[in-house]
Amino acid sequence: MPAVTVDGQSLHYLDQGTGPAVLLAGSYLWDQTMWAPQIAALSQQYRVIALDLWGHGQSGPLPAGTTSLDDIARQALALLDHLGIAQVTLVGLSVGGMWGARLALSAPERINGLVLMDTYVGVEPEQTRNYYFSLFKMIEETGVIAPQLLDIVVPIFFRPGIDPQSALYQDFRATLAALPAERLRESVVPMGRITFGRDDLLPRLKELNADSTLVMCGDQDKPRPPSEAIEMAELIGCPYVLVPEAGHISNLENPGFVTEQLLKFLADRA
């Protein structure tokens, strides 16, 4: 994967296909490979860019001075500048949607379309935020995501009925278990605190272009339930789509449905 230096660190990304540009921004604790089904399909007619979040995949550590999702949005914009991409359709899932919405608000002239998936740009509910922060503290102190923590963290990302022996579930669990202490402490935990300590963007959603925005959510998403997706869609004034038989990583639990929706949305932008 190619890389660009942003704020002193190496930001890795995939760049595949030709045509109008699509930027895929993924979930916390996942790298760009989570988009594999969509990359395969979309890159047949689009230039698909998918980046690794700091401390995830092949990207370097969280750059010094990165303290907010606005910083992450600015760093992604630097990648688009480096690639000479004037306009992009941004598809952001989970934290990708949180900073993706900020990029769309800060540089609307760069955004041809915006898809917000399994995400929420309001503040994290206090109870959930405190709970996640307590998990971060445990990971920071031990330098590992221990088996008992994996039993808590991994199921959050999937629909309740998923087979825990499936490759999707087991591969994700193994990836988290293998994260080295340095990466956890320098990047993964701080990135988590930035994500779940975010400020409230709901009052600004009306500034987004409703005609070129779509909200999507797995119908069984536990951390980002459909009620949040509907709330955001109503504030924006845009349509929303619930992904059947899918949890938080809806694009992998029902890849065919998600890919079809994205291709339809992209065709409408042309």
- Interval 102-131: pLDDT, tens: 999 999 999 999 999 999 999 999 999 999
As a whole number of angstroms, the distance between CA 149 and CA 186 comes to 19
Residue 138 lies in a domain: no
Length of the chain, in residues: 270
**Residue in 34, 237, 43, 207 with CA at minimum distance from that of residue 118:** 34
The candidate with the shortest Cα–Cα distance to 265, out of 232, 225, 235, 238, is 238
Residue 81 belongs to some domain of the structure: yes
Q: In this predicted structure, what is the pLDDT of residue 269?
A: 83
Domain harbouring 230, CATH code? 3.40.50.1820
Domain total in the chain: 1
Query: Does residue 96 sit within a domain?
Result: yes
Predicted local distance difference test score (pLDDT) of residue 130:
98
Q: Mean pLDDT over all residues of the chain? A: 98
161 within a domain of the structure (yes/no): no
Position 176 in a domain: no
Is position 163 within any domain? no
Does residue 79 contact residue 11 with C-beta atoms inside 8 Å?
yes
pLDDT at 238: 98
Domain extent, residue 228, equals: 3-124+200-269
- Whether the CB-CB separation of 75 and 51 falls below 8 Å is answered with no
- Tell me the pLDDT tens digit for each residue of 245-264: 999 999 999 999 999 999 99
* Confidence (pLDDT) at 142: 97
Q: Which two tokens stand for residue 76?
A: 């992604």
- pLDDT by residue, tens only, the chain of 270 residues: 899 999 999 999 999 999 999 999 999 999 999 999 999 999 999 999 999 999 999 999 999 999 999 999 999 999 999 999 999 999 999 999 999 999 999 999 999 999 999 999 999 999 999 999 999 999 999 999 999 999 999 999 999 999 999 999 999 999 999 999 999 999 999 999 999 999 999 999 999 999 999 999 999 999 999 999 999 999 999 999 999 999 999 999 999 999 999 999 999 986
* Residue 258, domain member (yes or no): yes
